[in-house]
Amino acid sequence: MIEVRRHPRARRARLSVDPADGRIRLILPPRAHLRRALAWAESQREWIERQRARLPRPQPFADGATLPFRGIVLTIAHDSAAPRAPACDGVLLRVGGPADTLAGRVDRWLRQQALAALREATARYAARAGVTVSGVAIGDARRRWGSCTATGAIRYSWRLILAPPFVLEATAAHEVAHRVHMNHGPAFHALVAQLLDDDPAPAMAWLRRHGATLHWIGRST
């Protein structure tokens, strides 16, 4: 299925395959002829299939599967007689209970770990910046790793827990800096580096290079 979107600044039809979810998108100028544009998009099926073949492969949570976690690689080890709650044991993530509900328990555990880590990092950077944060929450946005509202509510992608720690740290510093500067001007970027006490560029580059792959972890299709 082709998802059609009209964009006020689009000058011509543009076709893309989203690396985070595999959706096919057709971006059109406001007054473009829809039927002709869809016919053109359908004629590009060979190109579409080549792009989809390059997408990351789904990595479902199952016994023996591996997943990145805070800079290490965990292997899921299922034992139905063990406690249901996942527990990290070195490079093993031990999970008990029924096999058919294992994936849900692993997903919830990862989200809990993400929320705890992001709350801690956010509080630390907020204290450095001398600002308040009204709340920290997590979600699973496809296009944003974090967001900060004017009221001080910060929301992150839980998938940051799958990235190396320096990526999570830089993202938290980035969102906290928005409590001072609600833009991406030079003063904002200087504050991010000051809070982080490091250059955030490598973390942003890591997300550009590997971020799409994180969205396929835990998916079966």
Per-residue pLDDT tens for 135-167? 999 999 988 999 999 999 999 999 999 999 999
Positive or negative torsion for Cα 97, 100, 103, 105: negative
DSSP the chain: -EEEEE-TT--S-EEEE-TTT--EEEEE-TT--HHHHHHHHHTTHHHHHHHHHTSPPPB---TT-EEEETTEEEEEEE-TTS-SS-EEETTEEEE-S-GGGHHHHHHHHHHHHHHHHHHHHHHHHHHHHT---SEEEEE--SS-SEEE-TTSEEEEEGGGGGS-HHHHHHHHHHHHHTTT-SS-SHHHHHHHHHHHTS-SHHHHHHHHHHHHHHTTBT---
Rounded mean pLDDT, 12-21: 92
pLDDT at 109: 98
Mean pLDDT within 69-82? 96
Question: Taking Cα atoms as reference points, which of 57, 120, 48, 37 lies closest to residue 26?
Answer: 37
Q: What is the mean pLDDT of residues 184-203?
A: 98
| Confidence label for 89 from pLDDT (cuts 50, 70 and 90) | very high
Residue in the structure block whose two tokens are 């994180």: 214
pLDDT in tens, 24-42: 999 999 999 999 999 999 9
- Asked whether the predicted pLDDT for residue 206 surpasses 90, the reply is yes
**pLDDT value at 176 more than 90:** yes
Of the pLDDT bands very low, low, confident and very high (cuts 50, 70, 90), residue 50 is very high
